[in-house]
């Protein structure tokens, strides 16, 4: 057992480990619910069409079917939702805008009956032209995906401009550090780049159990943002917040796919129609058309002086958000910021556009923005280095911003030693050492805005049985949030970990937390836990002083006992008459712009390329977890390793493929391959950097997403160093082979 008071900084065992390994953990699909009906969904088979008719008659004849629910059953509601843009109907209402849009739901006594009934519903479509290419959709004069002006959702920042065109949201960055920037004599590189749509595979697809009750809505959901889901449901169904209750069981992974609202309005609408609890469980093919990572096209231009000083960067970015906005504007904003890179530029000019298309909606996915753009910007840095004959590491070190410098005017200053992080990577990659043919090394450096919002509160209570209960709304989605929050409370209160329990989220009882995302669970929610624990400690010592008739400054709290001289008593005695609790929040955190801190995206990689097949192998990766203070070092390492494997998939083989009619072709895990153990690099090195410079508890700051930007770029850099230029992901063997043939052809004599 780890001694009390020394929990932080130790790789303690996860409290949820036994339940998950034994199968005792209860997920949404496991919840026992009396009288529950099972829901199956009918989805559109065309990308764009008017719905001429929906005939549910045959479905209603299937034994066990209780109801078929469509938009016609919601005419008394404004049945659209969306936290940023309120543009997504619960059921397609007259028009379908992507293949996979929900047209109807069947509620039945068994899953088998619901599944059978769905296949019998007849829908008549009048097909319309579909916009499937983001550049075509963004072109002037393109037909509009939505013919109504966009309505801001409840979480849309005040003052946000939303336009009528398909490119309905723009994030621009224009600034000059030097007046009248002169590019005369500068080396200029300019290319176009493509990043495909990919799926945020989580082991547990979306699950919602919903009830429509006399006193309001009750939902169990595998969601990352329960308080925002509560607000969305209250808005859509016209109820006050206190009449909507959201509870979160164990969640089998999220990675952004369960951010904000996803399937909850559908489940609630069905429960409302049938008057019984319902369970909606997505299959993988459903989840893949519920949310995905944004596809992207980008044109970038970089100018650098002959002496290696960076002059200017321009980028034009088109993010394919699909038929509905979801979190697209936020992803677009972060992508625009990532395009700049953490460098001193004389001039920056970025235009990032969020664009509607007739493809499934795009949302958050781990490391969004940085994953999209860091590899593009870093590729151009590598290309400039080659043209100038300057070592790639040296060129970066000459131009990197220092701690305290400003990346973008109006934003939080840089709070990390990026040059030091980059040197750590280079050292572990044996930078400068010779490599055989068709092998390459790559490095990359970037940052991403993290934290998003300081709205996080916590309550910590000492119960009569001597245990401490932590109530905090940040979700355990596999990253270890409950473990870290327990460690923080144990450290402050001088307790053994076995006496601290972090409770599941229930919006009726858990203090408000804005969201589980943006790497904020340790930094922001963790700070709230620390502050609540500190106040509880103060309250316990004060109660003990009164109980024992001694001054507070003569008391010590350790190992669950309060002592003075030869006298001591267990803290449980103080709560004999009832729980003693204290509240805390993260309101002290402030930051200019969207960043409460900058997440570091620094990594390196070594690759080998088979010129005969185009297959790329990855013998070594190095990632940097610049976390300020590692509350649990093992969890930090596991976060980086897990993200590394996801990056391997995004970089080398993951890609959602659509037909020319907009239908997803590879909608199963047989056709859409996610990384497996066979794809793990031979050597994964995670460098934990602890400078105590984070705004969170004990100087901590978040991690777990920076690898997506840093390692994606490093892998592209390494493949390019091996002799294969890259301007499109994924770097699949067929593409790499073609690029090798093209490069060989271009350099052949004559």
pLDDT tens digit sequence for 168-204? 999 999 999 888 888 999 999 999 999 999 999 999 9
Neighbours of 435 (CB within 10 A): 15
The pLDDT value recorded for residue 748 is: 58
The pLDDT value recorded for residue 2 is: 47
% of the chain with per-residue pLDDT over 90: 94
pLDDT tens digits, one per residue of 204-221:
999 999 999 989 999 999
Indicate if the pLDDT at residue 295 is higher than 80.
Answer: yes
Check: CB of residue 259 under 8 Å from CB of residue 364: yes
Average pLDDT over residues 503-523: 96
| Least-confidence region, from 164-168, 355-359, 745-749 | 745-749
| Least-confidence region, from 234-243, 558-567, 618-627 | 558-567
Higher pLDDT residue, 547 or 66?
Answer: 66
**What global pTM score does this model have?**
0.96
Average pLDDT over residues 307-330: 98
Mean pLDDT of the chain: 96
Q: Tell me how far apart the alpha carbons of residues 211 and 214 are, in angstroms, rounded to a whole number.
A: 10
Average pLDDT over residues 341-362: 98
Q: Phi and psi of 143, rounded to 5°?
A: -60, 145
- Does the N-terminal peptide bond of residue 730 adopt cis geometry, omega within 30 degrees of 0? yes
Eight-class DSSP state of 511:
P
Confidence of residue 749 (pLDDT cuts 50, 70, 90): low
The pLDDT value recorded for residue 1 is: 40
The pLDDT value recorded for residue 746 is: 72
The pLDDT value recorded for residue 5 is: 60
The pLDDT value recorded for residue 747 is: 63
Indicate if the pLDDT at residue 415 is higher than 50.
Answer: yes
pLDDT tens digits, one per residue of 517-560:
999 999 999 999 999 999 999 999 999 998 888 999 999 999 99
| Ordered DSSP codes for 151-179 | PB-TTSPTT----SSSEEEEEEEEEESSS
pLDDT tens digits, one per residue of 120-159:
999 999 999 999 999 999 999 999 999 999 999 999 999 9
Indicate if the pLDDT at residue 294 is higher than 80.
Answer: yes
Here the tokens at position 39 are 């829901």
CB neighbour list of residue 436: distance below 8 Å, 6 or more residues apart? none
Eight-class DSSP state of 631:
S
pLDDT tens digits, one per residue of 693-720:
999 999 999 999 999 999 999 999 999 9
pLDDT tens digits, one per residue of 660-686:
999 999 999 999 999 999 999 999 999
Q: Which amino acids are annotated catalytic?
A: 705
| Domains of the chain (ranges, CATH numbers) | 17-26+455-585 (3.30.365.10), 34-130+210-280 (3.90.1170.50), 295-451+593-747 (3.30.365.10)
């Amino acid at each position: 057992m780890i001694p009390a008071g020394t929990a932080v900084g130790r790789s303690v065992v996860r409290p949820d480990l036994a339940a998950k390994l034994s199968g005792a953990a209860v997920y949404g699909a496991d919840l026992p619910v009396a009288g529950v009906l099972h829901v199956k969904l009918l989805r559109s088979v065309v990308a764009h069409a008017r719905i001429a008719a929906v005939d549910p008659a045959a479905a209603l004849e299937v034994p066990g079917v209780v109801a078929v629910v469509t938009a016609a059953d919601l005419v008394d509601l404004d049945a659209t939702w969306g936290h940023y843009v309120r543009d997504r109907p619960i059921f397609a209402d007259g028009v379908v805008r992507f293949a996979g849009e929900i047209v109807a739901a069947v509620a039945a006594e068994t899953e088998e009956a619901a599944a059978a009934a769905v296949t019998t519903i007849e829908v008549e479509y009048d097909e319309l032209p579909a916009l499937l290419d983001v550049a075509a959709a963004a072109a002037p004069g393109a037909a509009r995906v939505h013919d109504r002006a966009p309505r801001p959702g409840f979480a849309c920042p005040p003052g946000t401009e939303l336009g009528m065109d398909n490119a309905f949201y723009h994030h621009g960055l224009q600034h000059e550090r030097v007046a009248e920037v002169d590019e005369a004599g500068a080396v200029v590189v300019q290319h176009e780049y493509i990043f495909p749509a990919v799926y945020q595979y989580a082991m547990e697809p979306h699950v919602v159990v919903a009830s429509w009750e006399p006193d309001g809505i009750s939902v169990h959901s595998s969601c990352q943002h329960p308080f925002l889901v509560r607000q969305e449901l209250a808005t859509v169904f016209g109820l006050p917040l206190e009449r909507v209750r959201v509870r979160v069981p164990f969640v089998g992974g999220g990675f952004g796919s369960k951010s904000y609202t996803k399937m909850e309005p559908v489940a609630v609408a069905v429960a409302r129609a049938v008057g019984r609890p319902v369970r909606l469980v997505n299959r993988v093919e459903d989840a893949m058309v519920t949310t995905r990572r944004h596809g992207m096209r980008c044109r970038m231009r970089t100018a650098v002086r002959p002496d290696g000083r960076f002059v200017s960067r321009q980028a034009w970015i088109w993010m394919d958000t699909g038929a509905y906005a979801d979190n697209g504007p936020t992803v677009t904003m972060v992508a625009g910021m990532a395009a700049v890179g953490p460098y001193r530029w004389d001039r920056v000019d970025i235009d990032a556009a969020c664009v509607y298309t007739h493809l499934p909606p795009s949302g958050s996915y781990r490391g969004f923005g940085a994953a999209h753009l860091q590899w593009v910007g870093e590729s151009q840095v590598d290309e400039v280095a080659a043209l100038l004959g300057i070592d790639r590491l040296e060129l970066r070190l000459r131009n990197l911003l220092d701690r305290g410098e400003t990346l973008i005017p109006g934003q939080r200053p840089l709070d990390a030693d990026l040059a030091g992080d980059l040197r750590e990577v280079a050292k572990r990659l044996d930078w400068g050492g010779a490599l055989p043919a068709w092998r390459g090394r790559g490095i990359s450096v970037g940052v991403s805005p993290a934290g998003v919002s300081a709205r996080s509160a916590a309550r910590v209570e000492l119960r009569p049985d001597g245990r401490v209960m932590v109530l905090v709304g940040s979700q355990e989605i596999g990253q270890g949030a409950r473990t870290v929050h327990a460690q923080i409370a144990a450290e402050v209160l001088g307790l053994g970990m076995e006496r601290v329990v972090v409770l599941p989220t229930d919006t009726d009882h858990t203090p408000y937390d804005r969201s589980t995302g943006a790497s904020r669970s340790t930094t922001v929610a963790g700070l709230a836990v620390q502050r609540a624990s500190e106040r509880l400690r103060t309250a316990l010592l004060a109660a003990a002083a009164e109980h024992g008739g001694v001054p507070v400054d003569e008391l010590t709290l350790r190992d669950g006992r309060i002592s003075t001289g030869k006298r001591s008593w267990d803290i449980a005695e103080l709560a004999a008459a009832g729980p003693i609790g204290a509240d805390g929040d993260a309101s002290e955190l402030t930051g200019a712009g969207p960043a409460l801190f900058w997440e570091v995206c620094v990594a390196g990689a070594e690759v080998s390329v088979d010129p005969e097949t185009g297959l790329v192998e990855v013998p070594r990766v190095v990632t940097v977890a610049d976390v300020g203070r590692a509350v649990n070092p093992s969890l930090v390492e596991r976060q980086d390793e897990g993200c590394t494997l996801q990056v391997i998939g995004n970089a080398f083989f993951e890609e959602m493929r659509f037909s020319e009619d907009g239908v997803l072709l590879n909608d199963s895990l047989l056709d859409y391959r996610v990384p497996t153990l066979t794809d793990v690099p031979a050597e994964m090195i995670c460098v934990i950097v602890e400078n105590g410079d984070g705004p969170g508890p004990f100087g901590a700051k978040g991690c777990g997403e920076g690898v997506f930007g840093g390692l994606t770029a490093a892998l592209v850099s390494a493949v390019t160093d091996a002799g294969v230029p890259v301007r499109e992901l994924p770097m699949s063997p067929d593409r790499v082979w073609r690029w090798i043939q093209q490069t060989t052809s271009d350099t052949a004599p004559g």
